Structures are given as C-alpha cells and as structure tokens.
Amino acid sequence: GPTYLKRDRFEVALLKEAVAANKAIMGICRGMQLINIALGGSVYQDLSEDPRQTLKHSQDAPGNLPSHHINVAPESRLFKLTGRRAYVNSRHHQALHQIAPGLHVTASADDQVPEAVESVSSDQILAVQWHPENMFKHDPSSQHLFADLLQRAAARR
C-alpha cells in the first residue's frame, strides 16, 4: 500500500523522544509495528511473506467483533490484563519479523504471528497487533489495556 514518509519520520522521532523521556507507551496495530521498527526491528511488509502465517489476519467481520485467539505468555504484563488465551479482532496485513532489541514477544496467534510485544526490562512499552479501541465497550480485556496505560502513565508523573 501507499506510504507517507513524512508521517513515518515524525512518528519514529516522537516515539524515540517518548522512550528517552520514560513515558508510558501503548502501541496499537501500526503502532506496534512502528515501535518495533523505530527500536531496531523489522516487519514483513505483507503477511504473505511470513512463512508462519496460516490464519486470516484481516477479518471480514465488523471490527468490534473478535476473529481469532492469541496465546499470551504467563510471565508477561499482558497475561495479567487478558489471561492466557484472549479472543481478539484482526485487521492487519503486516507482521513483526525481527524483534527489536529491548522488546520481547508476549503473545502470538495460533500460527505464531506476533500479536503483542513488551519492554524487556521495564513496563514502559506494551503494544498489541489488534484493535482494543474497537472492542472496549463489550470486552473487559480491552478495557484493562487502557486502564493499564493510565496506571503506567500516572506512575511516571
């Protein structure tokens, strides 16, 4: 698809400043991809390039409905918010490839496509591949993600 280099450069610079300022960061979909790239990782430009991909990651159902499960690492912050097996929506055609230093994958779809990353040595970054902003009205796990961001932000004041 089309790219917008000016937006990409701005968002990478903004993220790097937020990391340096120790701000609480939550990434959603493109945000997770941007965080990974800005911190030194890479993405598959299209899921068809990812040999792991076997699930449909661009759902036909309305965005407020879940379409596939994810497996969440028990030692992760995300596990405390969603449990071991969350049911999420999915509207992406890119996926993380090489994971940036300082991040680790904390959730994957059943086909092993990364669905969440977190900071290795702190609680600064939590990023997800799905869209909790579309599911929060009826999904407690999505509500927990936003509450967690507010808690992390308040603790850094």
Entry pTM: 0.91
What residue ranges do the domains of the chain occupy? 5-155
Cα(117)–Cα(93) distance, integer angstroms: 17
Cα(148)–Cα(137) distance, integer angstroms: 16
Note the pLDDT of residue 137: 92
CATH topology classification for 5-155: Rossmann fold (3.40.50)
Residues annotated as catalytic are 29, 131, 133
- Between the two ends of the chain, the Cα-to-Cα distance in Å is 39
Note the pLDDT of residue 45: 77
Average pLDDT, consecutive stretches of 10 residues, N- to C-terminus, the chain (157 residues):
88 97 97 97 77 62 78 98 94 86 96 95 97 93 97 95
Note the pLDDT of residue 76: 98
Helix count (H) and strand count (E) of the chain?
A: 4, 8
The values of phi and psi at residue 107, to 5°, are: -155, 145
Note the pLDDT of residue 53: 61
Distances (CA, A) of 18 to 21, 42, 44, 50, 106: 5, 20, 25, 30, 22
Q: Is-contact 76 133, C-beta < 8 A?
A: no
